[in-house]
Amino acid sequence: MLIDPDTRSDAMTEPTASTAPAAATPSPTRTAPSDRTTASWAGPLAVFVAFIAFWYAAPYLFFSGREWLLPPPHDVINVGFIEGMSFGQLWALVKMVVSDVVPFWSIDPGLDTSVVFVANAEATWLSAKVALTGLGAAIVLGSGLAMAMSQAKWIEKAFYPYLIALQAVPILALVPLIGSIWGFGFFSRMLVCVIIAFFPIVANTLFGLLSAKKSHHELFALHGASRGTRLRKLMVPAALPAMFTGLRIAAGLSVVGAIVGDFFFRRGDPGLGSLLDKYFARIAQEELFAAIIMSAALGIGVFAFFGWLRSRVIGKWHSETGVG
């Protein structure tokens, strides 16, 4: 069969549906590492500068004639963190922490609590011990209950309404009851932290445990895996991202619980809550703001620790999607 040359040329050169090149898919825009690094510190720095500028301007904008109610930042830094400080007092604070952390080693650190920073640092350490102890107890109890609830629906239905009720009751309403039953010492303050941090741990851990894919459960069932094996090797790894989210929330709440309990119990070792109450009664504004900064630093430190721990535990195999 002869083919006209012109027709053959047209047939060979004309693209068809099967031979036409596919339309180019635009590649996603990627942010350069240097741009991401700059954005990670430029944004917080800009907000911080704006906050300090507003702090300086606020007394004259909103407290005309009563500027002393909101002392300028440099006065707070000078009174709360610099005035009266020495290397000897810093070393005394280190000895205080070591004496509490290292078992069977009790030494007198020789703190001068007339120095504002020393008094605030000592109170911060006392509140940190209460908060961390309560948080640890909440992690153990909350994770254990969440695992039990994930294994039996009747356990979840039996306990969850009371967990919601415990979360809904204001902690300030429970503080007098706790004090009247267990006194006003370390255990009562720790119990306040447990109550306030308990629900986020249970809720997030349970959500994570139940988020394992059905196909994965079917694969484990196909291999005859027991409940314990399925929990240990499938459900707990799948729950880790949600668990760490709950831990970071509970970490900040435990600090709040320690300060609130100390503020209302007003007995035993004076934590940050007692100092805040004392500074408020004396209208010592610079000392009050310095103690508030120490409280915020404690909460941020605990939150940041669990964020760092999360990145070390699951950062290599779990990544969060985001824009930009």
324 residues of the chain, pLDDT tens digit each? 444 444 444 444 444 444 444 444 555 455 555 666 776 788 888 999 999 999 899 888 888 778 788 899 999 999 989 988 888 888 888 888 888 888 777 777 778 888 889 999 999 999 999 999 999 999 999 999 999 999 889 999 999 999 999 888 888 888 888 888 888 888 888 999 999 999 999 999 999 998 888 887 778 888 877 788 888 888 888 889 999 999 999 999 999 999 988 888 766 677 888 888 889 888 889 999 999 999 999 999 999 999 888 888 887 655 554 444
Quick one: how far is CA 73 from the chain centroid?
A: 26
119: which 2 tokens?
Answer: 């008094």
Q: Which domains, ranges and CATH numbers included, belong to the chain?
A: 77-314 (1.10.3720.10)
Asked if residue 297 lies in contact with residue 252, where contact means CB atoms within 8 angstroms, the answer is: no
Kindly list the distances between the CA atom of residue 216 and the CA atoms of 146, 229, 231, in Å, as whole numbers in the listed order. Answer: 20, 13, 12
Distance separating alpha carbons of residues 214 and 224, to the nearest angstrom:
15
Kindly list the distances between the CA atom of residue 25 and the CA atoms of 16, 21, 22, 28, 128, in Å, as whole numbers in the listed order. Answer: 20, 12, 9, 9, 54
